[in-house]
Amino acid sequence: MPGVRERVGHELFLRVAGPDGPRHAERIHGRPGPRWFEPGSPITRVHGDASMFVGGLSALLLQSLHPLAMAGVAEHSGYRGDPWGRLARTSHFLAVTTFGSAEEAQREIAVVKAVHRRVVGIAPDGRPYSATDPHLLAWVHLAEVVSFVRSHQRYGAQPLTAAEADEYVDQSGHVALALGADAVPHTVAEAVAMLEAYRPELEGTPAARSAARFLVANPPLPVALRPAYLPIAAAGVSLLPRWARWPLRLPWLPVTEATVARAAGELATRTIRWALPAGAGTPTASASADPGF
């Protein structure tokens, strides 16, 4: 079993962190200096837990519902041609800003902001978009916060208390503001209110529905590995708000999601946690709580 565990963990880590992952991880966690966030604080627990696999997929689906954000992804991210490379870059950003030194986190913010300045264009509906738009940056952040907390509360090793969930929302806003977002929630209640406020701007464009099919039904994996991905995809979809399903042509099956999908998601995250024990973060004892999403 140790050999199997090591092989599975190695393959998972390579998929998420890329071939340079081990070297980056050593530098991120080993470099001395002050951090933006204390070890064991809510943001380190959420971002270090296996539930991020489910939450990340759900966040991508939710983010795609903003036509301008989706236009930028479709035209500039190369998510179809190099999905694993994009995943590795995203996971690296989260790791550096969450666990790295304050100096390195600030450097990573500067790198991403420079990339954002090059992401401009015209959406299919004729509106201009820019990745530096503070309102769009706030939407991307909001979709992540909602999805990550929902996933952690359902599949995390040790869910957050209500107070810890609020602290997580507040902590993660620090990174979004550094990137240039114009407004971020500081509590779960504020996140819920902001999500509702964005709803008039959201729609299931052809590009968003295509991305959903790619992420859920046609993942960039060998056919033999797809059965292992299905529980994560089902769990990610089940975390979406009910109103987000039809625009993406994703089903809402309340009974199935409450039983089969939830059990499959729990099994998938337990398996990932077993294979990547170091990725489970440093959770402290806390009671399970519904964060209000």
Q: Does residue 218 or residue 211 have the better pLDDT? A: 211
Instruction: Please check whether residue 13 is in contact with residue 276, taking contact to mean a CB–CB distance below 8 angstroms.
Output: yes
Mean pLDDT, the chain, whole residue set: 81
Residue 110 phi/psi, 5° resolution?
A: -65, -40
DSSP H/E element including 104: helix 102-117
Using alpha carbons, select from 110, 111, 123 the residue that is nearest to residue 73. 123
241 and 150 in contact (C-beta within 8 Å)?
A: no
- Which of 80, 87, 79 lies closest to 14 in space, CA to CA? 87
Share of the chain above pLDDT 70, in %: 74
Cα–Cα distance measured from residue 21 to residue 14, given in angstroms and rounded to the nearest whole number: 7
Tokens matching residue 39:
């070890």
Residue 288 predicted with pLDDT over 70? no
pLDDT band at 254, cuts 50/70/90? Answer: low
Predicted confidence (pLDDT) per residue in 112-157, tens digit: 999 999 999 999 999 999 999 999 999 999 999 999 999 999 999 8
Cα 66 to Cα 266: distance, rounded to the nearest angstrom: 29
CB 100 within 8 A of CB 31: yes
Encoded tokens for 100: 């790295």
Strand partners, 101: 35
Does the pLDDT of residue 276 top 50, yes or no? yes
d(CA 13, CA 11): 5
Region 101-116: mean pLDDT is 94
Using only C-alpha atoms, what is the Rg of the chain? 18
Locate the domains of the chain by residue range.
2-29+37-280
More confident residue, 240 or 86: 240
Would you say residue 72 has pLDDT above 80?
yes
Q: Output the CA torsion sign for 200, 205, 207, 212.
A: positive
* Each residue's pLDDT tens digit, 22-52: 555 666 766 778 999 999 999 999 998 989 8
Determine the pLDDT at residue 33. 85
> What is 54-84 written as a DSSP string?
HHHHHHHHHHTTSHHHHHHHHHHT-TTTSHH
Q: What is the pLDDT of residue 291?
A: 39
- Of 136, 140, 160, 139, whose CA–CA distance to 150 is shortest? 160
